[in-house]
Every structure is written in C-alpha cells, then in structure tokens.
Structure 1
Amino acid sequence: MTDPTDSRSAFGATSDAIPQRSNDEILRLRKQLLNPTLSVAYQQPLKMVRGEGVWLYDQHGQAYMDMVNNVCHVGHCHPRVVRSGQAQMAQLNTNTRYLHDNIVEYALRLTATLPEPLSVVFLTNSGTEANDLALRLAHAHTQAQGVIVVDHAYHGHSPSMIELSPYKFNGKGGAGQRPHIGVVAMPDTYRGIFPDTPDAGRLYGQLLPSAMASLRQRHIATAAFYCESLLGCGGQIVLPEGYLAEAYAAVRAAGGVCLADEVQVGFGRAGEHFWAFECQGVVPDIVTMGKPIGNGHPMGAVVTTPEIAASFVSGMEYFNTFAGNPVSCAIALAVLDVIADEQLQENARRVGDFLIAGLRQLQQQYDGIGDVRGRGLFIGVELMQGRTPDPQKAKAVVEAMKARHVLLSTEGPDDNVLKIKPPMVFSRANAEEFLDKLDQVLHGS
C-alpha cells in the first residue's frame, strides 16, 4: 500500500523533481503526446523556466523582455498576487455552494469599476467561457439567434465561439460562416474601406443595419453584436471615434444587445480608461473579461445588467464547479489592489504615450513602417512595402528582436502587424531599451 506521505507517485517519479529535458526532447514529446495542432513560438523555440515583472528567463538564466504577455497583467509572478493565492489555497478552496467572503467582495470591487447599470457578475474560468455564457444571456434576453461580429475577430475556442470568430471560421481548417452570423468590415482607418476618413466611425457603424437586414431575409432576428473594444487578432486596431455609439444604436433599435469583449484589453490597459469601451463613450449591455483578470490564473467574468440577468432565470441553474472559488477570487482581488496601489493604469497611459511617440519617430525614419496605432499599452506597428502588407518583414523583425532578447509576435489578417502588449509594469526604461533595439533591427534590415 502506498504511503500517502511519500512524495513519490505511483509511477515512481516525485512531484518535486520533474526531469529537466532538453529543448529537442521536449519538442519530441510534445509531438508525440500533446495536441498536434498546438504550435510553438519562434523558429528556435524557447524554454522558459521563470518569470518576474516584464522578464522571462530561459533555462540558462538569459532574460527576455516580454512585449506580448497581456495575461500576466501586473507582471510575471507578482509577489502580492502569488502570496494571496498561496495563503488562500493553504486555507480553503471549494465551490460556490458554500458562502464565502471572497466572491461577494470581488463582485463588489469589480462592479465598482463599471458604469451603471452593469452590476450583475457571473464568474467563469476563461475568456472563452465568458463569451460563451454571454451568448446564452443574449439568447435568453432577446429570444433571437442572430449575431453580428466584426471581420477577423476572435472570441474564443468553444464551438459557439468558433462560429462567432471569422479569424477561425474563415481561416485554415474553418467551416465558413454560419447562416445566423452576420459579419461587418473591420473599422480600420488605415487599410479598410474607409481609410483616412474623418467620419469613419459613423460610416463603419452604418454597416450594421445592412448586416442585420441580411439576417432578417433569412428569418433570423439579431440577438447580439460582439465587438472587442480594441481589435486584437484584427491587427491591434483602435476603433474610430463614434463607431460603437453608431453600432450600438443600430443593434438596440433592432432589439439586440451589445457586448464589449474586454478579454484582452480591460483592467486599465487602455491607459486613459479602466475599460477600453469607455474610450468610445458608450455603455454596453454585457462585458466579458478574461486573461488579465487573474494575472495568469485561469479566470473570466461576465458582467451585465439586472434586466438581462433576470431573463436568464428560467429554472435551469448555472453552476460552474471551479468559477468563483475562493482562491481565484483572492488572486483577482490582489490584481485589483496592485493595479490601484501601483498606479498601473496611469503607467499604461504615460509609458504607452511615450512608446507610441517613439514608434512614430521610427516611422519617419523607416519606410517599412506603414502605421503606428494604439491606446495605452496596446499597440500595433504595421509593416508594409508601399501599400502592400509585408508579413515576411514582420516575421524577420520578430526573430531579430528575439535574438536581442525582446519577445514580440505578429497579428492581423496579413500577419504583418507587430503586436505590443507587455505587462502593465512595463516602464519608460523598458520602452527606451525596446525602441533602441527595434531601431537597430530596422536599420540593419
């Protein structure tokens, strides 16, 4: 009989002595044992073993500046967040059938950051779960099935969210657009259908009525409009002024509800505002959250109005085994504390403005930079040859920056946009180092 105090598992390994394998061996085992559709970053993959603040460290102790991790929102392994999770895990972790202070305290603190009437919280385990649950809320409230989405959007990996994500259903292996989905053009003022147009927000918003009319021709009423408050997979696009106001008015006139997907961009990343939808001067009917909410801990949330929440009360209970557990809520509370106490929203505004200004200076020096855009610490740099997207250049820049120990990635329909969304503790000194190294790379290319 196995001694329960023995740290060795039934298979002979110890829980605290995981074998340290070479990169090649890990890659071989991944191919053999893991999801075969799962890719790795970079031509020569990195093995990361430690994180701190804006830095990731490989097995050799080499530090890499993380410019793409909007999950570890307040910095990798923030001590305050780690301590909160450890302390609660050592005391209790269980489901929400029992009363506990953490979940109600978190609901109070979270809703205090949002405008009225967004005041009812549903907790989940991820952004995908949040967007999936939000769809159920929209269906229940409107008794309709149609959904309008923005082209190249990504809202999650569940079956229902793949149907709402042109990034997936129109991409490799995708099954195409379903009849109950309407797609409107990305409100891209650089390369979109209304480029360099002062009234672009209103013009892009006016595309929604025709999309909803197409659904009605198929006898499908509109339940919801899903839109990221800043477009991520679309290429780090900032919505033009007035876009959401125009779009929301059209959707509500048709009986639908308006959802702001803040999974990537919430919790102060936009700098000027805590929630990126506030940059548009609107109040959505539903807000979804994920990624930064737990600083890497798997957690998500939906916040909606009492009216929509009441429509969900049908006799069928919504219970989620892990969502809202005391550990998750303790961690999420610590994240809110750190954002406030370290003034990270203001840091995002100040450092983001400096970074965008520096990138625009590089844009004046190098013809290959077609556009620089962003809010706070959510920034895109579009690489072009004239007016033609240059994904090869973008990929080469990413690899060259990795060689200089800076981690970047690419995004956008043509995969030519450098995406910049570092942890919120990213400093001006970090920005100066990044700009200097990017200048070196662009000068040498």
Structure 2
Amino acid sequence: MSATAFMINGFDPAAASRLGPEEQRLIARRRALLGPSYKLFYEHPVQFVRAEGVRLYDPQGNAYLDAYNNVPAVGHCHPKVVAAIAEQAARLNTHTRYLDEAILAYAEALLATYPPEIGNVMFTCTGSEATDLALRVARFHTGGSGIVVTRNAYHGITSAAAAISPSMGPNVPLGEHVLTIAAPNPYREAGDVAQRFAEDVRAAAAWFARHGIRFAGLVVDTIFSTDGILPDPAGALAPALAAVHEAGGLFIADEVQPGFGRLGSAMWGFQRHGIVPDIVVMGKPMGNGMPIAGIAARPELLDEFGTKVRYFNTFGANSVSIAAARAVLEVIADEGLMANAAEVGAHLMAGLRAIARTTPSLGDVRGAGLFVGAEFVDPRTGAPDGRRALAVVNRLRERRILISASGAEGSVLKIRPPLPFSQADADEFLVILAEVVAGLDRENRPKDDASPR
C-alpha cells in the first residue's frame, strides 16, 4: 500500500525520481524538515509564489486557474481583506477577554445571515476546533456520546474530529461510540433517498440504545463533500433532522465547505434543505484563510454549557482575524458573490453536461452553485472509475487548471473555485476539460475501434 493510499490526488514520494532536480531537492528537504505527514497534491507537484483572484502563479510566472480552493472564498489576496488585515495588525491584535466593539459588530453581522433560532456564535481558530467544540456542546447537552456520520465523511483533524472522519482511513480509527451510514445518493440508489437516510439515522440511534449508549447527534456536511458531492434532492435532510430530534439528539451541520454563499441559493447549505440545525460548524473560509472559525448555535444549548463548562480559545476571534472575517462578509454582499455562484455554477454544470452527452465515462454531473461534482464510471458497468477521474485531475494540472477528486473511490471531480470565478473562467475550464477527456478517450479506445469519428 503506497504512502498516499489515504489521500485522494496525493503525490507518491516514490515517484520523485521522475521530477526535475530542483523539485526533487524541495521534496527531499520538505520531508526531512516536516516529516511524512505533509502530503503534496498531484503526480507532478506544483509550486506557487503568488496569487490573485482565481489565479495562482508559479516561480516562472505561469498562471494556473484555481477551480478548487474554497478557503480563499472571496478570491486570493482580495485587496479589501488584505487591507483590513494590515490595518488591524498595525493597530491591535489581542484576545476576546477584553471588551471590544469589533467582535460584537461581526457577530451581529454573521448571525444576521442565519435563521432567528440561531442566536449565539463561539469562535475558534480552525474548523477542526469548531467541530471539536460542537461535539462537546452536543454531548454535554444530551448527556450522550453516540455520534452518527456518513461513511466517507471528513470533519477535521483534532482527535475528536478525526474520530468522526472515516475518510481519514483505517489507520485513524473511528471513535468507540461512532456509527456510519450511507449518504443520500440519488445517482447510486433508487427510491426515496431522504427517507432511507432518516431511517438509517433511526436505526443507528436504536443500536446505540440497545447497547446502553445515549445518542448525542448526527454530524452532516450539508453537501456531502467527501462522500462524492451530493447536493440533491433539496430538502433531503428534513426527515433526518426529525429523526435526530425524535431520538433525543442534536443535528450538527458542517458548513466549512458549503457555507458562505458557495451554493448560490442561500448563505448556508442547510437552508437548501429547509431546516434549522441545532449547531452549525464554520471554518477558515470565514476569514479568507485567516485562522478564524467557529460554531453558531441555538442559545439554549450554550446557556448551561457556557455557565458550567470552562471553555476558552486563547486567540480564537483575535482582532486581526475578526477584521478579515468582517471584510469577507462585506465582499460577499458588495460584489454579489452568492448570485455569481448561482449563475456561474449553472453555466458550469450546463457545460459539463454537454461534455457528458458525448462522453460515456462521465456518468453524472451534479452540484449547487460553485460546488460541482462530475463522476467518472466504467461505461460497461456503471462502477465508479477513480483511475479515470484522477487521470483527468492530473492532466488538468499539466494544463494549469487546478481541481481535485472526491468520493470513496476518488471517482468524482471536485470543482470548488473561489466565489469570484467568472463565466469566462468557467468557459476556459470547460474547453480544456473537454480536450483532456477527449484525449483520454482516444488513448483508451480499443485498437479494433480506433477509426476516426
């Protein structure tokens, strides 16, 4: 089993000898200094020295179109965010245990994007910390420890978050009181996927009860990012929320990837499903990459927790990160980025579906806003084809287009650009993707079917 077995689209260090001498030197130095845990993307790793908007630039000045990175949500090095960071860093950067107007103004602005039932926010530095905090609140409130997640979920890298992240692989065991269920996938299953998902939640809660374990809650990435990007049908999470509450648990919505307007129709992924979760987890897109994240929750959940449990985060919501986060919210509103996500995402999916009509191996295109998945399959069997998807990812990298892959088999192209991605950017992506896919099809056509078409 290779060193990259548990990271989709990971670079295999055993292949370093195929690279140039400078790349080999950097890779060897990186491994010597950082150890083997720090993985690189792509068969041919890429180095960047600057970025702007939806482009990253290598040392030779070549521009790469970024159709993948969601953390710089409003674009790389957005001038308004950069200015807010610089101005605040020159004035004050401290913690939340002093009175400060800025954190309150930001909290009000952030909570205004939520349904009225969500009335408190607690800040952390990372999404993993926020997941950890959400679990602590859920377990404290319910008195339970049983958690349900989807089968290829990813929710973070702290011990608690990794324990509910089956996508980390078999060498990162799930927690003792963690059960997994299949994500709702209308492409792969017949019938009412929303009801099936809710019944699986009920069955998991019943299993916990039979074994003397109190159910604490369900944690769901609201677009099932690592399960293969599964946005549909809208409303599919409503029966699951009812099932969670029937069993005495809490519904925790992980919005680290789908949140902040990315899905186009609403600020938060859970809003597409017409539900109000109990706790919402947010991550570093909140500050365009600055170390700020957090949870938003129903106040009644935090009242007793905040009174009885000593919790603090030394530099969560520090002055500089709050300034960046406030600028991000303003840019999303001022530049119409949620509407842009809806419009450009629809254009992108239409183009992908046009490619799929002439590409038997491209089995399904799905998405919401600027979060799009395209699943490659074996045309004969319909089975997921991770090898083909990763070939596309790596050939796009060679053409200076950045995406990655998703799903348990790595068979789904993960297309998740910064929110300023334009229709022109989408067209550039589609033209090059069509060329890459056609090239792969020609190479893989059986020899007795090699005539031009």
Q: TM-score by structure 2 length?
A: 0.90
| Aligned pairs, number | 418
1:53 is matched with 53
Match in the other structure for 2:323: 330
1:224 and 2:221 equivalent? no
Measured against aligned partners, the alpha-carbon deviations of 1:60-102 in whole angstroms (never above 9, x if no partner) come to 0000001110000000000000000000000000111111111
State the alpha-carbon separation in 1 of the partners of residues 97 and 373 from structure 2.
Answer: 44
CA displacement at 1:313 relative to structure 2: 2.9
Alignment of 1:440 onto 2:435: yes
User: How many Å separate the matches in 1 of 2:313 and 2:265?
Assistant: 34
Aligned AA (1:227) = V
| Shift, 1:319, TM fit | 1.4
Pick from 399, 422, 430 the counterpart of residue 427 of structure 1: 422
Tell me the equivalent position of 1:187.
184
**1:64 lines up with 2:64 in the alignment:** yes
- Aligned with 1:396 (options 391, 400, 425): 391
Equivalents in 2 of 1:241, 1:427: separation in Å? 25
Matches for 1:45-444 after TM superposition, within 5 Å: 45-168=45-168, 171-175=169-173, 177-191=174-188, 194-195=189-190, 197=191, 199-386=192-379, 387-444=382-439
Secondary structure of 1:140's counterpart equals helix
Q: CA RMSD in A?
A: 1.3
Unaligned stretches of 5+ residues in structure 1 = 1-20
Deviation at 1:396, TM superposition (A): 1.2
The 3-state SS of whatever aligns with 1:225 is strand
TM-score between both structures, scaled by the size of structure 1: 0.92
The one-letter code sitting in structure 2 at the alignment partner of 1:208 is V
SS of aligned partner of 1:313: helix
How much has 1:28 moved relative to structure 2? 1.2
TM-superposed deviation, 1:180: 1.1
* Alpha-carbon distance in structure 2 between the residues aligned to 1:76 and 1:273: 22
Name the residue aligned to 1:16: none
CA contact (8 A) 2:235 2:272 kept: no
Structure 1 range deviating more: 362-371 or 30-39: 30-39
* CA distance, structure 1, for counterparts of residue 86 and residue 245 of structure 2: 45
Rounded to whole Å, the distance in 2 between the matches of 1:330 and 1:73 is 15
What is the rounded CA distance, in whole Å, between the counterparts of 2:360 and 2:52 in structure 1? 35
Q: Secondary structure of 1:93's match?
A: coil
1:389 aligns to what SS in structure 2? coil
The structural deviation recorded for 1:179 is 3.5
Matched to 2:419, the amino acid is M
8 Å contact kept, 2:163–2:172? no
**Same amino acid, percent of matched pairs:** 44
| Runs of 5+ consecutive residues of structure 2 not aligned to the other structure | 1-20, 441-453
Deviations 1:338-378 (A, max 9, x none): 00000000000000000011101111010010110000000
1:144 and 1:186 map into 2 onto residues whose CA distance is 23
